[in-house]
Amino acid sequence: MNIDLHIHTTASDGSLTPTQVVQEAQQAGLGVISVADHDTTSGVAEALEAQDAHDVIVVPGVEISASHPSGEAHILGYWMDHDDPAFQAFLERPRSTRGPRIIEMCKCLRGLGLEVRAEEVFEEAGGKEAVGRPHLAKVLLAKGYVKDMEEAFQGYLIKGAPAYVKRIKNSTAETIAAIHRFGGISVIAHPGLLKGPGLVDSLIQEGAMGIEVLCHEHDSAAAERYSEMADRNGLLKTGGSDYHGDMLEKSFRLGDLQVPYQFYLELKGVKARIQSPTRDR
């Protein structure tokens, strides 16, 4: 029986609801899955509720975007006490900086002679919480400052462009520590995609407990390399498809990636040794 410890739902940018994900997982013959949405655990409760009717074990998860001086990384967290308000506050922290970032970017644009106000962008986004660069690009387009979204991004909004302002994220060290503080297991997501020099080694030094060895981004040589790295450092091995339904143009289906059940048993063994009041499953 195979497992998949990295799945997105409509709680972030996946196309299936948590219940649909559990249904699909059952149809694909998966025994264990983790709902690991970007920076939110809001899909976890629904997935946990769906698991009993579908004979699929759901591991509560999250995939946190974090920054390190040498680059960006995604850190997976499993089985933390995600309902703890302090953990939710940790996840919320970068979200509360979305508004101020857009205000800064609008200031830069006005300095360039483009009359854009942050309020217009918030209105486009339906609020400050979810606002991002695509909303700003749409406003630029609507005002005729650019001919398409591409020009808005390339000319003004991408890293290095004149109105770019860095997005504030939790650091990788803070993220790993927070997952542990709330009784969870931290895992480096798709290390093969991490660009920063020495980034994976830095994350291990910061205390990451596992490495996502198997994923669609890794060919067999990469999987082998990360597997050896995990062994050398005494880390857990995990695997997941990073399934987003049909939101991303990827050619795989749930269940295509072969992740052994053994990975789940080892993960669970470590969780059992962590003292915390989290739910048991």
Contact residues toward Zn ion (CB under 5 A) are 63, 74, 189, 242
Closest to Zn ion by CB, 4 or 242: 242
Query: How far, in Å, CA of 257 to CA of 264, rounded?
Result: 15
Closest to Zn ion by CB, 4 or 63: 63
Residue found under tokens 């650091």: 171
Closest to Zn ion by CB, 74 or 82: 74
Smallest distance, Å, CB 13 to Zn ion?
9
Smallest distance, Å, CB 250 to Zn ion?
11
Smallest distance, Å, CB 74 to Zn ion?
4
Question: Cβ(143)–Cβ(110) under 8 Å?
Answer: no
Residue 258: exposure state from Cβ atoms within 10 A (0-12, 13-18, ≥19) = exposed
The separation between the first and the last C-alpha atoms of the chain, rounded to the nearest angstrom, is 18
Closest to Zn ion by CB, 142 or 248: 248
Closest to Zn ion by CB, 103 or 193: 193
Smallest distance, Å, CB 193 to Zn ion?
7
Query: How far, in Å, CA of 133 to CA of 58, rounded?
Result: 33
Query: How far, in Å, CA of 10 to CA of 91, rounded?
Result: 17
CA dihedral sign of residues 264, 266, 269, 273:
negative
For residue 57, what are the β-bridge partners?
32
Tell me, rounded to whole angstroms, the distance of Cα 211 from its chain centroid.
Answer: 14
Smallest distance, Å, CB 71 to Zn ion?
13
Query: How far, in Å, CA of 264 to CA of 237, rounded?
Result: 9
Closest to Zn ion by CB, 106 or 188: 188
Smallest distance, Å, CB 4 to Zn ion?
11
CB nearest Zn ion: which residue? 74
